[in-house]
Amino acid sequence: MNIYSRYIEIKDNKNVRSKTDRLIRDCFKYKIFEKKPSKKRMLMFKEHYNADYPFDTKELTDELISRLNHYIDYCKEMDEAEERCRRERAERGFSYVDAHNIHSWFMKIMPEMLTYMKDNLRGFPDFNVSYPGNSQCYFSKSAEVPQEADEWKEILDRMIFLLREMNPDTCSMKNEYDEEYYKVLEDFKKKYGMYGDGLKSEEEKQKEEEEGAYTWYGPSDFPELYPDFQKLYYEHSLRNHYIYFYRDKCREEFFNLFSKYFWDLWD
């Protein structure tokens, strides 16, 4: 059974606790998709759905139906986009997504390429020549590996390390305030809505609707509810800045090495 037939089965019924739970269980198991989505998409779907509609939902509201149907369509669109990316990478070496996010593409692909090169070396640069890249010293894998080859591997290892430290997804330096910071944000969202609508008066909401201008609130706007959040926000932001400067120093060192040994990146 696919999502559309399950949707039709329940969409007109307001008292469908068991069917709703079955739908959610199916969503969690991802058996209602005609084509199984990626693991990344599965996790996104589960976290997004469960954040707004807990498992013990007693009644399938129109809003729930709309959100569920919309998000599954979104998941399918994302999977189609990823399929297009795979096809374009196979045909021309990069996708339209890569072209609009070159720095992320570089930080993701280059460590893998350098690691493969290091693990499958056939030679090493001749550091004694005047023109870098013009000479390679080859060695037999059955013979003893020359010291210069080990030195070249150390250079490649350093470049790989710096690339991974540049990348926010793989950087070893983490923000120790993340868990507490996002826990407060999640608590605020559950109690008062994403932008604090639950704390607005009916008069304020009506005025916003009439004027078309909306005010967004966060935990820092209500120190009486979250007295420690301002300090937490400051410490979290300060740590993020420190991590950014560390990553940027890694970027600077990497490109110094990359520039110095650019013509030697072949064998």
Any idea where the domains of the chain sit in the sequence?
A: 3-92, 98-173+256-264, 178-251
The amino acid present at 28, given as its one-letter code, is: F
pLDDT at 149: 84
pLDDT at 161 over 50: yes
Would you place residue 48 in the very low, low, confident or very high pLDDT band (cuts 50, 70, 90)? low
Segment of 35-49, 192-206, 245-259 carrying the highest mean pLDDT: 245-259
Compute the distance between CA of residue 49 and CA of residue 69 in angstroms, rounded to an integer. Answer: 11
Q: Are 57 and 24 in contact (CB under 8 A)?
A: yes
Q: Supply the pTM of this predicted model.
A: 0.69
Q: What is the pLDDT of residues 54-71, one digit of tens each?
A: 444 444 455 555 666 666
Q: What are phi and psi of 43, to 5 degrees?
A: -65, -40
pLDDT tens track for 101-150: 999 999 999 999 999 999 988 888 887 766 666 666 776 666 676 788 88
Could you tell me which of 177, 169, 186 has the C-alpha nearest to residue 240? 177
Mean pLDDT over 33-59 rounds to 53
Q: Give pLDDT, residue 162.
A: 98
For the chain, give the percent of residues with pLDDT over 90.
43
